[in-house]
A and B are shown apart, each in its own frame.
Chain A
């Protein structure tokens, strides 16, 4: 069994005295772990020789600005959400099926239909051989546009 994470901690000096003595005892017997420890020490030395590079003074502000821009892009405006909701609501509302209410404004009244039926029935040879009866079903009021509405019985 070889050591890995423990070697890094051993180098950093973050192990307890007891753990450090265990690692040291292992290193005394394990050539491979000693080699790994040497490699780790070499890498650290190399990093210490590299010259320090200072970040651009505007880097922080620029980065923060870009983050803010991304946040702005990802946030949908509330008015847009409201409009979309309203549009979906209207679309759903328009799908509602509601029977039409009977109204006088529906072009012709029920009386008109009954009168017309009586008129058509009047030409039937058996409908009114007495000549008079069909007009009892077709009151004249609707057929006299000049007559005042007050004269109508219904």
Chain B
């Protein structure tokens, strides 16, 4: 049926209007989701860049059944220009100090006065409410109850994952300032993985460390910078497009980066609360890190290693080595590797060729 031109124009206009309204509505819903996110959660992220304080924290991490790392940390926080963390490790570890200033961070041994300086990634606080919070609301069930810590009124936020392959998190947020007073990460089987809690907390006026400066006489080694990479750069470094890793459900990619050491391409994923890191290197032979356990799958070998609540999975696919590290169970990351695809174990011939190539490169 042939219609009049006026009818067609009207139809197009109506469709355009409907699409515009739909898009606007969708954006509104997204904004609404972000805006209606749990206020203490949003407040705690905002507090990091707005509230000045001083305190002492204890940080305990269980890295397996026998190994525990514990540190006592003196904290001086005066955003945005000064944050100093003095780590006094409980046990055989050494003391060290971290000073964060806009765009840079130094870590040094206060006794030997040596350390490193780095220009790491900037915090992603700015995009929390627009990007991470919707993912967090999608992936975690949230319950909040009134609480009290260090004599301060607080809110206890419990974040339980919809998919039981990652840790749940309990946060205790100060009602007045929004500062996170205590954080617990609990594994899928209920084991406590990490605890960070203030033993002493004191709110300070903004600018209270305005005159602070980095100690003189430090011998600092610059650490190779990590920088954001374009798709073209990634393809050039890997000799082709990167492996599209079938990450566990709920994780969203936040960026590609190039590093100066280790596997050169790093892809970061987030489920709104935790970070999953994918490393890729151009190499035909898998190079599993020491201590990894070999797991034979029907497609090929993968290597797995656990550290506390985190899992490392390494395998080879399409001439690239892939290593994934994140807060997810071993089963979940193994399944991710199998969904992505695994190259069979390398032939001795492949290893010989790789070795010859390395010898050639060396010369």
Contacts and interface: CB of A to CB of B under 8 A. Distances in A.
Contacts of A13: none
Contacts of B270: 124
Contacts of A98: 345-346, 348
B287 A116 contact: no
B136 interface: yes
Task: Determine the main DSSP class of A at the interface with B.
Answer: loop
Given A98-B348, A106-B289, A139-B69, A114 B312 contact: yes
B interface residue count range (under 10 / 10 to 19 / 20 to 34 / 35 or more): 35 or more
Nearest to A140: B96
Interface string A80-96: 00000000000001111
Contacts of B196: 128, 130, 132-133, 136
A86 B47 CA distance: 72
B326 interface: yes
Interface string B272-287: 1111010100000111
A114 B109 contact: no
Contacts of B115: 144
B112 A125 contact: no
A113 B47 CA distance: 30
Interface stretch (A17-25, A71-79, A145-153): A145-153
Contacts of B132: 124-126
Nearest to A124: B275
A135 B292 contact: no
Interface in B33-51: 41, 44-45, 47-48
Interface stretch (B23-31, B57-65, B148-156, B234-242): B57-65
30 contacts: A94-B348, A99-B301, A99-B346, A100-B286, A100-B345, A100-B351, A102-B292, A102-B303, A103-B290, A108-B261, A108-B262, A112-B262, A113-B277, A120-B266, A121-B274, A123-B120, A125-B48, A126-B41, A128-B196, A129-B171, A130-B183, A132-B75, A136-B59, A136-B61, A137-B194, A144-B109, A144-B116, A145-B116, A147-B112, A153-B91
